Amino acid sequence: MQCPFCTDDGNRVIDSRLARDGSEIRRRRECDECGRRFTTRERIEETLPRVIKHDERREEYDRTKLRRGVEHACVKRPVSTEAVERLVDRVERGLHESGEREVTSVHIGRRVLEELSAIDALAAVRFASVFRDFSSPSDYEAFFAEISDEPVHGDASEGADSVEGTVRSFRARR
């Protein structure tokens, strides 16, 4: 790390401390050459893809937002906070392992639906309605038609059955 004042790359750490709830280390450094001090921050590289919204805008992935969406769908349903956290973990792991730089919000929503419909079908339908900003029953129909037609790749075939189960149970409730 070069000194920002004289660009010499020799320096020593004079203080280290955790910041941002432990997700960052700040190091106070002193330049060997000019003696000036500066701070460096070390964080785990964030490799989760950015999210492409319906209107093509891009957003940083936001775990809190996703978790709140799932929690909201699970209000008064027999789904524990722990189960919600694990669900979000699995979705994040999938995003991380995909290696994609950008994914659509529909893709993330579908992944959550697969996971959620295996836990609680009604919560999955609620999640779909909020996630897609449904305003009429035809929006549900269009959405479920869309996710039913989508080929599900890899080992997620079990999830596809669950989504279809959600569609069926949704239709049965209407």
> Contact letters (x/-) for Zn ion, 47-66, by CB under 5 A?
--------------------
> Contact letters (x/-) for Zn ion, 14-33, by CB under 5 A?
-----------------x-x
- Whole-number minimum distance, CB 24 to Zn ion, in Å? 24
Exactly one of 6, 14, 18, 142 binds Zn ion (CB under 5 A); that residue is 6
Instruction: Examine residue 1 and tell whether it contacts Zn ion (CB under 5 A).
Output: no
- Whole-number minimum distance, CB 35 to Zn ion, in Å? 7
Instruction: Examine residue 3 and tell whether it contacts Zn ion (CB under 5 A).
Output: yes
CB 112 within 8 A of CB 123: no
- Whole-number minimum distance, CB 5 to Zn ion, in Å? 5
Within its chain, how far is the Cα of 50 from the centroid?
9
Instruction: Examine residue 34 and tell whether it contacts Zn ion (CB under 5 A).
Output: yes
User: Which residue, among 76, 65, 88, has the nearest Cα to 126 in the 3D structure?
Assistant: 76
Beta strands in the chain (DSSP E): 11-19, 24-31, 37-43, 50-52, 58-59, 102-104
Phi first, then psi: what are they for 122, rounded to 5°?
A: -65, -40
